[in-house]
Amino acid sequence: MGQLNSQLPLEPSQENVQRAAACLRGGGVVILPTETVYGLAANALDPAAVNHVFAIKGRPSDHPLIVHIAEASQIEGLALAVPSSAWVLAEKFWPGPLTLILQKAAQVPSETTGGLSTVAVRVPAHPVALAVLHEAGIPLAAPSANRFTRLSPTSAEDLDPEVTRQVDLVLDGGPCDVGIESTVLDLTSGTPVILRPGHISPSQLSAVLGVEVAIGSGNEKQSPGTHRQHYQPHTPLVIVEALAPDMPGIVLGEPSAVQISLGTEPHQFQRGLYSALNDLDHRGVSTIYIQAPPRSPEWAAVWDRIARASS
């Protein structure tokens, strides 16, 4: 652990998946692709391994981690008093970008949940993440593989060398399909509450549950990971209604030479967002501009991320 040189991303061959799984079982830290963003994974049931993840990220120890599992049935060992809504949502959306907050079982160390009595769980949809989870046979705590408050990596190329040099192994699973983090849904009170908007929308959740889901304020005490400064490039980011051709940044329409277009479809836009910000961040410009997307519900997750990134 803690090598001097950056770990080179490895192709996700069966042999490398087995190496990653063995490393995780032995208490190591591995960077894995998921369908949302790359994760910094460790055995969720091993407090020392989890503490190492916090140290690598520079993340406050009271910011809880998401526990990734290979299949929904593994909820049983991790959570108590699981409501039927959890099984319904798992059946419909897993594997996929939905994280459920449930009452924690005693087995889960408080290090993993940042001291909370609840636990976050999801089954990721990326085949490499699933292969490692099946091979390792343990639940994996995995925050996004960025330093605290920085942009989440959505490709192996976008990983921060400061992070990769401190891990045991990196698996390259190509660019992430979703591109922003999972929707976080709290099922521990009477009403389901979205603590972090994501690819899976409130209307999709309401349609499956048959009840309205509430939208959290985004600053919940019970979800400290949703603090205001987050997803930040090093370069200041400013949201504007329109960009002049000499303003470097992200536009919805035709880009100039210093701009990147991510199109006008929200899913396509969110897939490319972090990678485009990372690219612009490395160009040495003094400000990155981003054209305000429509203020409609389909753009809520994008708005959440760009508002935090520009704060």
Cβ-based nearer residue to ligand TXA, 56 or 251: 56
Options 6, 110, 222, 261; binder of ligand TXA; rule CB under 6 A? 222
Decide: helix, strand or coil at residue 249.
strand
Binding of residue 23 to ligand TXA (CB under 6 A): no
Cβ-based nearer residue to ligand TXA, 28 or 249: 28
Nearest distance from C-beta of residue 94 to ligand TXA, angstroms: 12
Q: Concatenate the DSSP letters of all residues of 182-199 into one string.
A: PEEEE-SSSS-EEEE--S
Q: Do 57 and 154 form a contact (C-beta atoms < 8 A)?
A: no
Residue closest to ligand TXA, measured at CB: 225
Nearest distance from C-beta of residue 218 to Mg ion, angstroms: 14
43 binds, among Mg ion, ligand TXA, none (CB under 5 to 8 A by kind): none
- To which H or E segment does residue 9 belong? strand 9-10
Options 44, 65, 75, 79; binder of ligand TXA; rule CB under 6 A? 65
- Residue ranges in contact with Mg ion by CB under 5 A: 144
- Residues 252-287 as b/e (b if ≥16 CB within 10 A, e otherwise) read beeeeeebbbbeeebeebbbbbbbbbbbbbeeeeee
> Can you list the alpha helix ranges (DSSP code H) found in the chain?
14-25, 47-57, 75-78, 84-93, 127-136, 161-164, 202-209, 266-281, 300-309
Q: Which residues bind ligand TXA (CB under 6 A)?
A: 34, 36-37, 39, 63-66, 97, 99, 101, 113, 116, 118-120, 124, 142-144, 181-182, 184, 195-196, 222-226
